[in-house]
Amino acid sequence: MTTATAMTRNSEPRTPNPEPLVQLREVTKVYGHGDTAVRAVDQINLQACPGELVLILGPSGAGKTTLLSLIGGLLHPTSGSIQIAGTELTALSPAALSRFRLQQLGFVFQFFQLLSALTALENVELVLRLGGCTFSQARQRAEELLVRFGLGHRLQHLPRMLSGGEQQRVALARALALQPPVVIADEPTGSLDSHSGEQVIHLLRQLVDEEHRTVIVASHDLRIQHVASRVFRCGDGHLEELPMPQSEL
């Protein structure tokens, strides 16, 4: 892969999907009460369709991680509506929400969150087994994903034996194991060197162009602007959509 490939949006136009896969309406998250209350997310409206990479920029403390946690069903909003693939997250029981997250949402984190006692292959297999796959199905799917991400020679390596970029690619393979329509990435390049970061950015864009997934990324990494479909700035709990940068092509 070249830097130019990794850092440039697909130039071929796509037909817009009229049905948003992710839809937030007047979503607010308040921590605390009274005079000490903090509105980490304040009446946010956001839509994201299949085939879009939505980038949320902003400094630490701006509310990016809280927003992603709300979209991913990891936090419950104080008020507002969150729909993923037509399902209202706020209406689900804790057990139903856990099942929904497993099947419909893939998560990628800055610090990978791989299980240290499991190999790269086993980290991906575990999600597939939780999703109901047989051992042989899980093994085949996990191997296919890791080979696709250039890790065929690392299948039996523990996380501590992998570079940061390799660990993040394992984490991305794990996020995609059950083929979720929505992938949520929180600072996915934050712990990586420049080259590894570009590889991960390229892979995220591939998910949009080749598999028509919805990818939502929160990051400080301005390079991601060049592969994003839309860019927002998060500050004081609010979102502002920004003009798109010019393509490098």
1 pLDDT more than 70: no
Instruction: Give the burial string for 51-86 (b: 16+ CB within 10 Å, else e).
Output: bbbbbbbbeeebbbbbbbbbbbbebebbebebbbbe
175 contacts 183 by C-beta, under 8 angstroms: yes
pLDDT band of residue 246 (cuts 50, 70, 90) is low
- DSSP class of 219: E
12 pLDDT more than 80: no
234 contacts 62 by C-beta, under 8 angstroms: yes
11 pLDDT more than 50: no
Q: Name the strand (E) or helix (H) holding 66.
A: helix 64-71
Per-residue confidence (pLDDT) for residue 4, from 0 to 100: 36
What is d(CA 32, CA 235) in angstroms, rounded to the nearest whole number? 19
10 pLDDT more than 70: no
249 contacts 8 by C-beta, under 8 angstroms: yes
Per-residue confidence (pLDDT) for residue 59, from 0 to 100: 85
**Could you read off the pLDDT of 193-218 as tens digits, one per residue?**
999 999 999 999 998 999 999 999 99
Per-residue confidence (pLDDT) for residue 83, from 0 to 100: 97
Per-residue confidence (pLDDT) for residue 34, from 0 to 100: 85
CB neighbours of residue 12 within 10 Å: 6
Beta bridge partners of 235: 238
Q: Which domains does the chain carry?
A: 21-242 (3.40.50.300)
Centroid of chain to Cα 206: 13
Centroid of chain to Cα 97: 17
Per-residue confidence (pLDDT) for residue 2, from 0 to 100: 37
**Could you read off the pLDDT of 167-186 as tens digits, one per residue?**
999 999 999 999 999 999 99
The string of DSSP codes covering 105-172 is: EEEEETT----TTS-HHHHHHHHHHHTT--HHHHHHHHHHHHHHTT-GGGTT--GGGS-HHHHHHHHH
**Could you read off the pLDDT of 56-78 as tens digits, one per residue?**
998 888 889 999 999 999 999 99
